[in-house]
Structure 1
Amino acid sequence: MENSSSSKQNNNSSWVIVALVFLVAIAVIGYFYQSTTPEPEPIKEVSVPEPVIVEEEPKNIEPEIEQPVIPEQTVQEITPEPVEVEPEIVLPTLDESDNWIREKLPTITWRNELLKLIVDDDMVRRFVVFTDNFAKGDIAYRHSILVQPTEKFSAQENTEDGQQILRWDENVSKRFSLYVDLLRTIDSDLLVQWYVELKPLIDEAYSELGYVDEEFTDVLHDAISRVLDMEIPKEQLELVRPSVMYKYKDQDIEQLTDADKLLLRIGKDNLLVIKSVLLEINEKLSRTRE
């Protein structure tokens, strides 16, 4: 919209043009009239009032817009699908956790008769202490989570070139077969789930050992890695018996940790099965930390 000053300027310009046109028309008519008619009597001058031009403000007329007719639609009510809410896991105290675990143990394997191999007393603390020692290469027999085999170790005595040679009796490894069967029949997914659920109690038991700022899962990975990294000897191991206890004739083998020598006593076939199961468990444990 133009402002008032520019509007006045345009109105004055229009009035000047109209006045000039009017004067020229009067002059032409007067010249034509004077040349064809006798000179008339003088005419008194009559003052002609200046025309008043009234500008009408343009009316803003908005065109009528037809509103579209929206057909009525039937709105269907959408019922949201129910969201499954996982029940909250209420853990017992560490001292009362044995009953909680005993109730769940029959669901972890289809060989329930093998559950008798598990020591069901103070199980969380036993698991933590035994794992911590095993990861360092030690064996905490008093805190074992499994009962010890009833069959004792024995060696084969052979005579070669007039010399008595003691060798590892592979048949002795069969005393560990039931333990391997138990491990092989365990539901690894459920086992890892239990570990995650029991983690607060496991951390509590681990802190009782003086490890406040350390992560027990790292210790568990170290223990599993010790088994996975154990090399299986290709040849049958020879033994010596300087006293009541047997020892390995090969000093490199004898200098191994107690944990590694226990893995050797388990036997080649059993150790391969244990490696396979622990490898699967280790991978699933790693996914829980991602």
Structure 2
Amino acid sequence: MPLKKKRSSTGPWLLSAAIAIGAVAVAVVIWRTAMRPPHEGTPVAPPRASTPEPAAAASTIRHPIAKATPAPATTAPLPALDASDADAVAALLALAGDGALDGLLQRDQVIRRIVATVDALPRQSVASEILPVRTPRGAFLVERADGGITPSTRNAERYAPYLRVLRSVDPKALVAWYVRHYPLFQQAYRDLGYPKGYFNDRLVVAIDDMLAAPTPQVPVQLVQPKVFYRYADADLEARSAGQKMLMRLGPADEAQVKSELRVLRGLLTGSGLPAEASVH
């Protein structure tokens, strides 16, 4: 059954997703619980998303999956999309290794969740119901001094399990699995409401959008007009969900995730790896 494209609470959230790349997402998303105080009122639903970007709905394929890193040769048939959870969960847990992803991964509608999350990242919000991983434990912490509000460095402890997944995944193996199962991702994308769309193109759009994220000067200033914390800088607040996810990691971790994303982009598009990148 296709996931509904329902939006949840408004404002800059923090949630964690160690799978931000369609079948493979190794970027770490951090928003819902991290930009929300420990005690809050009922969130207000945001406006519905605007019409999908032309690139997502166009019939012209820009990055054919045939150009990506090839999957291992096999004659084994793929499972049906709605019967693929056991296969997807087993593969992702094995790719992450040492149990790093166990306990974080949502185990139902895995491929549909990944596709819906990737599609939403270039927009300004992601519904928590569609995420492929669970949100981080604990409350988002801030520091208050001289009338200002800044994120606490102690929040890094909440994100550490997701970054461990990022560091443990072999990008080549991850992309090879994605290529092997690409027909299921394509079907899930069409079921999401893009009958002429091409998921790998949307995945590259999401990666490019995240790579365009600025690196805010720290400490980042926040404001709290109502329930949620927001960026004091209007330009940062207007950024996409994917860019906000990276900005909230801090300069060092943002740089590491971007390096991983460049590697993945090269493998997904067949353009090779950037000079500064190396595969695990």
What band does the TM-score fall into relative to the shorter chain? 0.5 to 0.7
Contact 1:176 1:270 in 2 (8 A): no
Structure 1 residues 104 and 253, CA gap change in structure 2 (3 angstroms): closer
In structure 2, distance between residues paired with 1:102 and 1:249: 39
Q: Paired residue for 2:194?
A: 211
Which secondary structure state, in structure 1, belongs to the residue aligned with residue 248 of structure 2?
helix
One-letter amino acid matched to 1:112: G
Share of identical aligned residues, percent? 29
Which secondary structure state, in structure 2, belongs to the residue aligned with residue 167 of structure 1?
strand
Of 126, 130, 134, the residue aligned with 2:121 is: 134
In structure 2, distance between residues paired with 1:128 and 1:185: 22
In the superposition, the TM-score normalised over structure 1's length comes to: 0.64
Which secondary structure state, in structure 2, belongs to the residue aligned with residue 178 of structure 1?
helix
Q: CA deviation at 1:199?
A: 0.9
Q: Paired residue for 1:144?
A: 131
Which secondary structure state, in structure 2, belongs to the residue aligned with residue 252 of structure 1?
helix
Structure 1 residues 223 and 170, CA gap change in structure 2 (3 angstroms): same
**How do 1:222-241 residues align onto structure 2 when only pairs under 5 Å count?**
222-241=205-224
One-letter amino acid matched to 1:128: V
**1:71-113: CA deviations, max 9, x gaps?**
xxxxxxxxxxxxxx94313111111001112332343133224
Please, which moves more after superposition, 263-272 or 208-217? 263-272
Which secondary structure state, in structure 2, belongs to the residue aligned with residue 119 of structure 1?
coil
Structure 1 residues 238 and 86, CA gap change in structure 2 (3 angstroms): closer
Q: Paired residue for 1:75?
A: none
- Computed over aligned residues only, the root mean square deviation of the Cα atoms, in angstroms, reads 2.1
Q: Paired residue for 1:125?
A: 112
Please, which moves more after superposition, 218-227 or 242-251? 242-251
Q: CA deviation at 1:270?
A: 2.1
Question: Does the alignment pair 1:186 with 2:169?
Answer: yes
In structure 2, distance between residues paired with 1:214 and 1:130: 15
Q: Paired residue for 1:268?
A: 251
In the superposition, the TM-score normalised over structure 2's length comes to: 0.66
Gapped runs of 5+ residues in structure 1?
1-84
Q: Paired residue for 1:34?
A: none
Of 216, 219, 242, the residue aligned with 1:259 is: 242
In structure 2, distance between residues paired with 1:240 and 1:99: 43
Question: Does the alignment pair 1:108 with 2:91?
Answer: no
One-letter amino acid matched to 1:280: V
Q: CA deviation at 1:114?
A: 3.1
Q: Paired residue for 2:83?
A: 96
Q: CA deviation at 1:288?
A: 8.4
Q: Paired residue for 2:232?
A: 249
Contact 2:96 2:165 in 1 (8 A): yes
In structure 2, distance between residues paired with 1:136 and 1:251: 16
Which secondary structure state, in structure 2, belongs to the residue aligned with residue 115 of structure 1?
coil
In structure 1, distance between residues paired with 2:99 and 2:243: 29
Q: CA deviation at 1:189?
A: 1.1
Higher percent of residues as helix: 1
In structure 1, distance between residues paired with 2:255 and 2:73: 37
Aligned length: 201
One-letter amino acid matched to 2:246: L
Contact 1:118 1:147 in 2 (8 A): yes
- For the pair shown, the structure with the greater C-alpha radius of gyration is 1
In structure 1, distance between residues paired with 2:145 and 2:192: 47
One-letter amino acid matched to 2:151: W
In structure 1, distance between residues paired with 2:205 and 2:113: 17
Contact 1:131 1:220 in 2 (8 A): yes
**How do 1:22-41 residues align onto structure 2 when only pairs under 5 Å count?**
none
Q: Paired residue for 1:50?
A: none
Which secondary structure state, in structure 2, belongs to the residue aligned with residue 91 of structure 1?
coil
In structure 2, distance between residues paired with 1:269 and 1:94: 37
